[in-house]
Amino acid sequence: MNLVIVESPGKIKKIREILGQGWDVQASVGHVRDLPEREMGVEAPDFKPKYVPTERGKDVLARLRKAVDRANAVYLATDLDREGEAIAWHLKQALRLENPQRIRFAEITPKAIKAAIATPSGIDVKKVAAQEGRRVLDRLVGYMVSPKLGDMAGRRGLSAGRVQSPAVRIVLERERAIQAFKPTNHFGAQLGFGSWTADWETGPFLPEGQKYLLDSSLATRVAAVRQLHVLECEEKTESKAPPAPFITSTLQQAASNKLRMKPKATMEAAQKLYEQGHITYMRTDNPNLSDDALIEIYQVCQAKGLPMVEQPRTWKAKGDAQEAHEAIRPTHFEIEEAGETPEQKALYKLIWQRALGCQLAAARYAVRTVRLRAVDTLDGKPVDFTGKGRALVYEGWRALYDDDTESDDDKQKDKDDANNPVPHLEAGQSLDAETGKVLSKKTRAPSRFTEAELIKELERLGIGRPSTYAAIMENIMSRGYVENDKAGKYLVPTETGALVIDALVNSRFSFIEYAFTRDMEARLDLVAEGRSSYREVVSVVHESLEQELGHMKVDAAPQHPCPDCGKAMFRRKGSKGFFWGCSGHPDCSTTLPDAGGKPGKHQPREVAETPCPKCGKELIRRKKAAVGKKKGYDFWGCSGFPSCDAKFDSVGGKPKL
């Protein structure tokens, strides 16, 4: 009997069906060992991690040991990324395997699995070291800095993260840029020629160093122009190639934009599709496809009569891409629908369209641009206008699906151009405008990030890697540092998130800087390539943290002090909306209403002359007037609530003891 150990239990059934008799398939259910929960688990100067079985790992290892004892050979088939390589290494160590065979496959198909078994290898210890470096770096920041945040920010229970904190900072800085933004009112002019329009080129009329036209009277004079002649009429064809197949980050972005799926839900659905054998491995930063995939695509395109590109398309991966395996694609292109849930089916459709569409012919547009000049000058300057029309003349890949990479602004511009049928005109031709109007415009503040846009920004800055984006989103939301706006679309920082970032920035921790975080990711890549060492990377961060903790700033004056005890007040969300609570809870139970994101007016507490007969603490009057159908209340309760639930009726403004 041969034993294959995979990560996910969801893969077992499919792989057993493929391998047949003489094979056993078991799952590690992810990591079986980790650093200890109640201690850092790593110390200078050697930084050798101390690993212990996880709670779930204890039972898993006991089960796997029995399976190993029955096996003639053990194959470690954990995932292809660094986490998977590390899990394979931990299994080897924990199960004391002498000569396990490491096998890797990017898809759960008979061809891929049998090819992997035929060409086993050893565990890639360089990848293991890179994963270990990431885990230990995160542990150092969490255990060394988080306990000090309470002193810096005046609140217990706050946490710092090597990648989590820079992500929150991105959201916070965008929010503050929005709050500080002051819109500029500016103007333009547009002439109408029946079914099409032309816009005034304001550039020659702008004072030096000015980006926008602020003179509405000048725009009014231009809008009155009626007689013009044609300077030039340019006609050309523009083509637009399809986007690349999905990598992990672009899959999360497209699923967020088109399917309104959160990154975590996207990766869970993709994991299931992978386990069911429908798609290739979903953690990758390589946008290119294998030769086998290209052959399948051409066969499907021929069968469907879809227009194929003449030469196979390839894409250049970003500079720090690991390119471990190909892009995310269907394992069988002839299958157009797959998945067990509506989310899985919708995600599979996206993957199928992007992977198939990437090898279709480009879409083509007929573009006509006309430049006009007014017969009369204005203040001695020529007055020019531009009209542009754009029409789709050949669908190409767009016959398969609509573009999911365009921004809202790009879509609106394409729509405007498509609805502007500029006619063919000859240079020197005279024409009269039928209408003219002033365009009143206003500069817009930068927009908040959606989850998809934040992932794109993290990728641009080099913060995190494909396997970490969903976890980053989950962490910053679950810890209450970032939340969705009322519409549920955009991300906004919470007061707590702002407090944490300000404390870290003011204390000049280097890990909060984008360049530092990006550099650490690059250094981990070097470890994975064998060009740097685990200890070298970890020691740099440890030394930096020790120095920075030595000169950290402790802010003794919180931004919103509690009116009763002076400790920091924090904005919180309860069942009835936002309110402000004291960080000194449970010792201080003061709460204040929320007034536009700031603490509302403090109502002095009424304290009884007689202490609580149950525990000796102060009795406080709880009073609220009736509003409409909602009943009010008036009673005296112990200030030690919830430890003490003593409660007394109010009679004549005093507790009835």
**CA Rg, the chain, in Å?**
32
H helix or E strand, kind and range, residue 89: helix 82-95
| Dist CA 248 CA 264 (whole Å) | 12
Position 480: which residue type? G
Residue 112 neighbours by CB under 8 Å, 6+ apart = 105, 106
Question: How many other C-beta atoms lie within 10 A of the C-beta of residue 141?
Answer: 23
Q: For residue 507, which of 161, 143, 152 has the smallest C-alpha distance?
A: 152
* Rounded distance between C-alpha atoms, residue 608 and residue 71, angstroms: 75
Q: What angle do CA 182, 185, 190 make, to 5 degrees?
A: 150
| Helix/strand/coil for 238 | strand
How big is the CA angle at 588 (ends 584 and 589), to the nearest 5 degrees? Answer: 110
Beta-carbon contacts of 196 under 8 Å, excluding residues fewer than 6 positions away, are 387, 389, 420, 421, 422, 423
Q: Which structure tokens are listed for 540?
A: 């740099």
What pairing do the DSSP bridges indicate for beta strands 185-192 and 435-442? antiparallel
Residue in 281, 348, 490, 534 annotated catalytic = 281
109-134 in b/e form (b: 16+ CB < 10 A) is: beebbeebbeeeeebbebbbbbbbbb
> At residue 28, what are phi and psi to the nearest 5 degrees?
-85, -15
Is the separation of the CB atoms in 90 and 100 below 8 Å?
Answer: no
Give the bridge partners for 431, in sequence order. Answer: 228
Using CA atoms, how far apart are residues 53 and 90, in angstroms rounded to an integer?
Answer: 10
**What is the residue type of 383?**
V
Is residue 281 flagged as an active site residue? Answer: yes
CB 191 within 8 A of CB 433: yes
H helix intervals, 358-446: 408-418
Q: How far apart are CA 26 and CA 3, in angstroms?
A: 7
Residues that are catalytic:
281
